[in-house]
């Protein structure tokens, strides 16, 4: 038999493109369309429909960037259509220029204000009832398509620079009859053609499908598709009826619409995206009761509840019916690398409380398909929130290594393990095509022991969700020879079935590091600084408000705390905190952080006033020249003030610099630091060990070319290290009253450093005031230490994670940029150095050669690139201070920044923990004379109190969250210094997990990094 395969395939392609697709709609009729362009920001339906509308015709340009055009569509189907079979629909062509989620979008309302469905590319229709007149409004959003190449600058992401030229040209809006037989034939062809192209040439099934499609082509008349479509379906029926292999891979298809809570659009637009997508989903559910859809992010439900109450009521009905499924249990799909421990816990507290309150559902899984890597602390946090499963997909983006498992146990830093699934379809917005289903089967790593994987299907990122075409594909592949067997179901049902067939799954220990998007630890420094500051202000505000409530009857602002937490948690979304959104998003974030700070400062001031009996405003200790009542929110005693309490104390002072040679020395008897004439740190010695910490000059600023191959704000590519300038030239190095001041200029930027040492402090402080105006550059701050460290420790949520400083394997080499919270530590068994920061997350820590006498060959540039060789190795710690990517915000990081760093020689891990809190939690002082005892005290220095607050249920109970911080076993006593009836261990949602203990001290035995929440019943 001659091989005419390619001829038939080309014939099919042309038939589908030129004849079949155009025959789906058999009849069309005009409607009347009028329009009103809304000025400024979006407005509610009731206001918009009251405006004066004027006629608009196809071809009319519309839509300045981020604007809204309201359309009013009226008409009636022709009377003769009553005798024609088909589904009546309104077709809406807004002038789409690309795919869904990154384009013009619309939301359709009835005249009474109820929501019908969304409009987007590939889903641009509105089902209508036969014979009924049309009276609909469409809220059309002119969202710019900013997808592009992810590197080229665009000014469309800032309302001030986006311009006012129209982006779109209105297409045809009309009534149409959809020929259901032709549409079904279209779906048959799409499914079989997709399957055929994934089957190997030597498999008979491939050729059976080809010949079935050929027979369809023979019986369907291209010039009368409607009249012959039934015959075409009959020709394909045997091929579609052939059942799946008994050993076929089983796919749980879950309707999904990953909607970024902000990204290439502002937060305000996300709320509208949710309404459009959710309306589409509910409409599909009304037509197909078997359809199920999973949706994460309580914040998105809350937006719809507050702005579209009628739609939210319909969603609640579908949730009750088991069709619309809340998943994930978080407030948003957050970044997990950078949020602090308490903030990460509150993602689940806020999300799960919302789902329980609104729907009565306790979600069993964490759902994070698109975050940029996953902290090793997550398994414990997820389990502590009462969940048992975890889903992600993003690691399929790894540049270097492939994850060895699809379904596995993920073990975190404390030993807690989660049953985890990594969908082998390698995407979270599948259309259930033959290619996607084949990829899921091919990539599944547990072949032979497991049989199933999960596929999230539906248009995502910018929303849209599943379509009727995707449901048709699922129905056709439920049991189809050559294809995985597809079943629409829920995530929980998938996880239960997968766990049952894999009683002994493989285990992955430690973080799920994404070998990509490493620049997100650094981009948008102001957003990151706002997050860090907000987290610590919330700690202070809750601590002092709870203390004042117990001690003085102060009114604890529970509702206000919830509002503030929700805003801070929203801004930890995985495209906001990582710095990968348009300018508008980050401008909003900075304004929100400023508002958060003002609100929390008011709460703190009021609580301290109540505790101190003072009506004076609080001020920082550094500004107080006399003995005052000092409040210490840190978990360690400081300067004579107990942890979590207040005492009368003197404000610590900094030692004055002393000239030495051509430089200056700072020496407080605990630490001695020498800064040379270039402003570099050439010596750092702690008195306790007498050991020199520096292997080469530190406090070295280094400027790198930073032009990644793709994804500018997201990526740092390893070759950045090959181009570096050491900024060793100083304009001035001077001694001021309490600091050495170093001034440098480079490119179009300047930096002023204040290097100081407080009396009795074990750490040297460096404050960097940077006026940054570079483009596509990366600014690093380097400290070459005379420490032989094979691994570094970096703080993460409720503990720390170790990472290699070498590149022995491809897994090690891929971690050339890492994330740390408040501190990193490098050390030998009996000596180490800690570097703490106040808002920096990106670091790199590498080995570097040194001579046997401690001298360092070569330059710091060589150390960074690893080109020098010598007999022994030291360790270079570098902090990534600032970047300057051009996309998606061309002004990223431009302007003024103040970033603080401290270096503590002779430090243990415990010292590093303490230094991290000191760097981020300055004491406060107010006039007052009476000490304020802490509500709780712990007798073990390694057991850290992370939060003291009142209970979420407004009972007035005191909740204390603590953890073991050093990675060792710890036995500790928790003493509550206030009357209480009992104490009980709870989960993160403050639900008991143990029996209550009577009033008195609480004895705890903690495993390394264990997280514990205690609730004291007052």
DSSP-based three-state secondary structure for 799:
strand
Rounded CA separation 487/255 (Å): 11
Residue 637 makes CB contacts below 8 A (sequence gap 6+) with: 643
* Cα angle, residue 751 at apex, residues 749 and 755 outer, rounded to 5°: 170
Our CA dihedral for 909, 911, 912, 913, rounded to 10 degrees, sits at: 90
Q: Residue 291 has what pLDDT?
A: 98
Answer for the pair 574, 334: CB distance below 8 angstroms, yes or no.
yes
pLDDT at residue 695 greater than cutoff 50: yes
The β-bridge partners of 877 are 783, 845
Residue 147's pLDDT is what? 86
Compute the distance between CA of residue 834 and CA of residue 42 in angstroms, rounded to an integer. 50
Closest by alpha carbon to 695, among 793, 777, 786? 786
Catalytic residue among 174, 370, 686, 889: 370
- For 299-310, how does the pLDDT look when each residue is reduced to its tens digit (9 = 90+)? 999 999 999 999
637-662 pLDDT, tens per residue? 999 999 999 999 988 899 999 999 99
Classified as helix, coil or strand, 678 is coil
Please state the φ and ψ torsions of residue 837, each to the nearest 5 degrees: -145, 165
Minimal CA–CA distance to 569: which of 364, 796, 330, 357? Answer: 330
d(CA 39, CA 36): 9
- DSSP β-bridge partners for residue 176: 28, 89
Query: What is the pLDDT, as a whole number, of residue 445?
Result: 97
Classify strands 365-367 and 389-391 as parallel, antiparallel or unpaired.
parallel
Is residue 854 over pLDDT 70? Answer: no
Specify whether the CB–CB gap between 262 and 370 falls below 8 A. no
Average pLDDT, the chain: 95
What pLDDT score was predicted for residue 626? 57
Spatial separation of the C-alpha atoms in residues 506 and 498, rounded to whole Å:
13
pLDDT score for 614 = 54
Nearest CA to 123 out of 490, 467, 558 is that of 467
Q: What are phi and psi of 435, to 5 degrees?
A: -65, -45
477, containing H or E segment? none
> Residue 431 — pLDDT band, cuts 50, 70, 90?
very high
Confidence of residue 865 (pLDDT cuts 50, 70, 90): very low
Q: Model confidence over 556-610: pLDDT tens digits?
A: 999 999 999 999 999 999 999 999 999 999 999 999 999 999 999 999 999 999 9
The pLDDT tens digits for 274-294 are: 999 999 999 999 999 999 999
Closest CA to 641 of 847, 421, 402, 926: 926
Distance CA 450, CA 498 (A): 7
In angstroms, what is the C-alpha Rg of the chain?
Answer: 31
Taking only the tens place, the pLDDT of each residue in 219-274 is 999 999 999 999 999 999 999 999 999 999 999 999 999 999 999 999 999 999 99
The answer to whether 598 and 904 are in contact (CB under 8 A) is no
pLDDT tens readout for residues 354-413: 999 999 999 999 999 999 999 999 999 999 999 999 999 999 999 999 999 999 999 999
Flag whether pLDDT at 73 surpasses 50.
yes
Q: Which of 435, 458, 380 is nearest to 413 (CA)?
A: 380
Phi, psi of 198 (to 5 degrees): -100, -10
Is 588 catalytic? The answer is: no
Tokens representing 579 are 């710095």
The 10s digit of each residue's pLDDT in 483-519 is: 999 999 999 999 999 999 999 999 999 999 999 999 9
Between the alpha carbon of residue 569 and those of residues 732, 838, 962, the distances in Å are: 42, 19, 20
How much is the pTM?
Answer: 0.96
Q: What is the pLDDT of residues 156-211, one digit of tens each?
A: 999 999 999 999 999 999 999 999 999 999 999 999 999 999 999 999 999 999 99
Contact between 958 and 990 under an 8 Å Cβ cutoff? The reply is no
Report the distance separating Cα 567 and Cα 484, nearest Å.
43
Alpha helices in 518-622 (DSSP H): 525-552, 558-570, 583-612
With CA atoms as reference, report the closest residue to 942 among 1007, 871, 876: 1007
pLDDT-based confidence at residue 849 (cuts at 50, 70, 90): confident
Query: Residue range 720-732: average pLDDT?
Result: 97
User: Is 439 a residue whose pLDDT tops 70?
Assistant: yes
Residue 616 has pLDDT above 90, yes or no: no
Q: Cβ(384)–Cβ(350) under 8 Å?
A: no
Going by their DSSP bridges, the two strands 87-92 and 125-127 should be labelled as antiparallel
From CA 170, how far away is CA 175, in angstroms rounded?
A: 16
What is the spatial distance between Cα 532 and Cα 593, in angstroms, rounded to a whole number?
A: 10
| Percent above pLDDT 70 for the chain | 96
Tell me, what's the pLDDT at 160? Answer: 94
How does 411-447 read in b/e, with b if 16+ C-beta sit within 10 Å? Answer: bbbbebbbbbbbbbbbbbbbbbbbebbbbbbebbbbe
Query: What percent of the chain lies above the pLDDT cut of 90?
Result: 93
pLDDT of 940 strictly over 70? yes
Give how far Cα 305 sits from Cα of 97, 316, 504, Å: 31, 10, 42
Q: How many residues does the chain have?
A: 1018
Predicted local confidence at residue 620, as pLDDT:
42
Q: Are 929 and 614 in contact (CB under 8 A)?
A: no
Going by C-beta distance under 8 Å and a sequence separation of 6 or more, which residues neighbour residue 591? none
- pLDDT of 959 > 90? The answer is yes
- In angstroms, the Cα distances linking 132 to 81, 82, 286 are 12, 11, 19
User: Cβ neighbours of residue 856 under 8 Å, at least 6 residues apart?
Assistant: 695, 696, 784, 848, 849, 850, 863, 874
Cis peptide before 4 (omega within 30 of 0): no
Please determine, for residue 905, whether its predicted confidence score (pLDDT) is greater than 50: yes
What's residue 856's pLDDT? 42
Give me the DSSP letters along 281-314: HHHHHHH-TT--EEE--HHHHHHHHHH-HHHHHH
Report the alpha-carbon distance of residue 316 to residue 336 in Å, rounded. 29
User: Cα 822–824–825 angle (5° rounding)?
Assistant: 140
Give the separation between CA 751 and CA 482, rounded to whole angstroms: 64
Nearest in space to 915 (alpha carbons), one of 682, 673, 697, 671 = 671
Q: Is residue 1013 within a helix (H) or strand (E), and if so which, with residue range?
A: strand 1011-1017
Query: E-strand spans in 146-217?
Result: 168-169, 173-178
Cis ω before 888 (30° cut-off from 0): yes
Q: Residue 800 pLDDT > 90, yes or no?
A: yes
* Closest to 695 measured CA to CA, from 784, 783, 790, 792: 784
Q: What is the pLDDT of residue 407?
A: 98
List the Cα angle 742/747/751 in 5-degree steps: 25
Higher pLDDT, 861 or 467: 467
């Amino acid at each position: 038999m001659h091989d005419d395969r390619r001829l038939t395939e080309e014939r099919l392609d042309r038939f589908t493109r030129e004849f079949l697709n155009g025959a789906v709609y058999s009849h069309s009729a005009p409607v009347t369309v009028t329009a009103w362009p809304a000025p400024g920001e979006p407005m509610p339906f009731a206001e918009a429909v009251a405006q004066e509308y004027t006629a608009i015709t196809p071809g009319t340009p519309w839509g300045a960037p981020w604007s809204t055009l309201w359309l009013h569509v009226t008409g009636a189907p022709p009377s003769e259509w009553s005798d024609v079979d088909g589904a009546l629909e309104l077709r809406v062509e807004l002038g789409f220029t690309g795919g869904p989620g990154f384009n013009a979008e619309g939301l359709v309302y009835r005249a009474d204000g109820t929501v019908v469905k969304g409009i987007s590319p590939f889903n641009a229709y509105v089902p209508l009832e036969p014979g009924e007149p049309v009276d609909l409004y469409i809220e059309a959003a002119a969202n710019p398509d900013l997808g592009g190449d992810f590197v080229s600058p665009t000014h469309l992401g800032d309302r001030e620079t986006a311009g006012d030229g129209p982006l779109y040209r209105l297409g045809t809006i009309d009534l149409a009859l959809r020929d259901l037989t032709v549409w079904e034939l279209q779906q048959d062809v799409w499914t079989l053609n997709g399957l055929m192209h994934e089957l190997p040439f030597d498999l008979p099934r491939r050729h059976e499908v080809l010949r079935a499609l050929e027979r369809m082509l023979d019986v369907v008349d291209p010039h009368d598709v409607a009249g012959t479509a039934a015959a075409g379906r009959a020709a394909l029926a045997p091929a579609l009826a052939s059942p799946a292999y008994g050993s076929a891979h089983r796919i749980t298809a879950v309707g999904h619409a990953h909607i970024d809570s902000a990204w290439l659009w502002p937060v305000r637009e996300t709320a509208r995206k949710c309404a459009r997508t959710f309306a589409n989903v509910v409409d599909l559910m009304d037509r197909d009761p078997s359809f199920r859809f999973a949706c994460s992010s309580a914040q998105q439900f809350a937006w719809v509840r507050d702005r579209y109450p009628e739609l939210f009521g319909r969603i609640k009905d579908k949730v009750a019916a088991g069709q619309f499924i809340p998943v994930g249990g978080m407030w948003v799909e957050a970044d997990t690398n950078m949020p602090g421990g308490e903030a990460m816990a509150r993602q689940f507290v806020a999300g799960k409380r919302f789902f329980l309150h609104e729907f009565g559902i306790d979600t069993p899984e964490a759902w994070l398909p698109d975050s940029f890597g996953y902290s090793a602390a997550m398994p414990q946090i997820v389990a502590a929130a009462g969940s048992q499963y975890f889903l992600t997909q993003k690691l399929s983006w790894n540049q270097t290594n492939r994850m060895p498992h699809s379904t596995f146990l993920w073990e975190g830093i404390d030993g807690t393990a989660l049953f985890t699934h990594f969908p082998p379809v390698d995407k979270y917005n599948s259309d259930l095509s033959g290619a996607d289903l084949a990829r899921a089967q091919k990539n599944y790593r547990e072949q032979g022991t497991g049989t199933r994987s999960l596929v999230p299907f539906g248009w995502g990122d910018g929303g849209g969700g599943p379509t009727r075409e995707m449901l048709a594909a699922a129905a056709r592949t439920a049991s189809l020879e050559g294809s995985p067997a597809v079943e629409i179901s829920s995530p929980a049902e998938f996880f239960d079935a997968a766990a049952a067939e894999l009683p002994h799954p493989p285990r992955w220990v430690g973080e799920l590091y994404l070998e990509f998007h490493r620049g997100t630890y650094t981009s948008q420094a102001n957003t990151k600084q706002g997050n860090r500051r907000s987290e610590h202000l919330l700690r202070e505000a809750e601590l002092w408000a709870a203390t004042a409530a117990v001690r003085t009857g102060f009114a604890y602002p529970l509702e206000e705390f919830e509002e503030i937490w929700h805003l801070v948690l929203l801004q930890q979304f995985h495209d906001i905190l990582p710095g990968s959104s348009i300018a508008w998003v980050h401008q909003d974030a900075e304004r929100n952080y400023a508002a958060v700070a003002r609100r929390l400062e008011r709460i703190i001031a009021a609580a301290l006033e109540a505790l101190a009996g003072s009506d004076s405003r609080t001020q920082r200790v550094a500004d107080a020249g006399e003995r005052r009542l000092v409040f210490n929110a840190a978990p360690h005693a400081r300067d004579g003030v107990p942890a979590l309490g207040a005492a009368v104390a003197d404000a610590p002072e900094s030692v004055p610099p002393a000239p030495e040679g051509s430089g200056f020395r700072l020496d407080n008897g605990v630490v001695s630091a020498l800064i040379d004439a270039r402003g570099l740190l050439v010596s750092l010695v702690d008195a306790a060990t007498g050991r020199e910490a520096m292997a080469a000059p530190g406090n070295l600023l280094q400027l790198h070319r930073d032009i990644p191959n793709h994804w500018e704000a997201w990526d740092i590519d390893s070759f950045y290290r090959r181009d570096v300038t050491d900024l060793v030239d100083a304009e001035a190095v001077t001694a001021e009253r309490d600091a050495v001041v170093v001034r440098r200029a480079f490119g179009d930027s300047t930096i002023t450093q204040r290097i100081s040492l407080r009396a009795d402090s074990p750490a040297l402080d460096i404050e960097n005031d940077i006026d940054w105006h570079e483009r596509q550059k990366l600014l690093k701050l380097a400290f070459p230490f005379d420490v032989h460290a094979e691994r570094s420790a970096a703080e993460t949520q409720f503990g720390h994670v170790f990472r290699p400083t070498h590149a022995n394997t491809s897994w090690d080499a891929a971690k050339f940029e890492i994330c740390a919270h408040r501190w990193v530590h490098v050390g030998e068994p009996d000596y180490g150095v800690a570097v703490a920061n106040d808002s920096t997350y990106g670091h790199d820590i590498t080995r570097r050669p040194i001579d046997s006498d401690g001298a360092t060959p070569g330059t710091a540039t060589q150390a960074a690139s690893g080109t020098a060789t010598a007999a022994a190795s030291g360790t270079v710690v570098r902090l990534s201070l600032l970047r300057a990517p051009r996309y998606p915000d061309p002004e990223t990081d431009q302007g003024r920044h103040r970033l603080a760093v401290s270096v503590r020689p002779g430090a243990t891990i415990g010292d590093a923990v303490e230094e991290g809190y000191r760097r981020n939690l300055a004491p406060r002082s107010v006039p007052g004379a009476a000490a304020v005892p802490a509500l709780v005290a712990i007798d073990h220095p390694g057991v850290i109190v992370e939060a003291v607050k009142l209970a979420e249920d407004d009972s007035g109970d005191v909740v204390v969250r603590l953890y073991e911080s050093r990675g060792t076993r710890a036995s500790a006593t928790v003493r509550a210094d206030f009357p209480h009836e009992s104490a009980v261990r709870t989960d993160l949602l403050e639900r008991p997990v143990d029996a209550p203990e009577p009033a008195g001290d609480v004895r705890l035995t903690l495993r390394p990094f264990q997280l514990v929440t205690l609730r004291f019943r007052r």
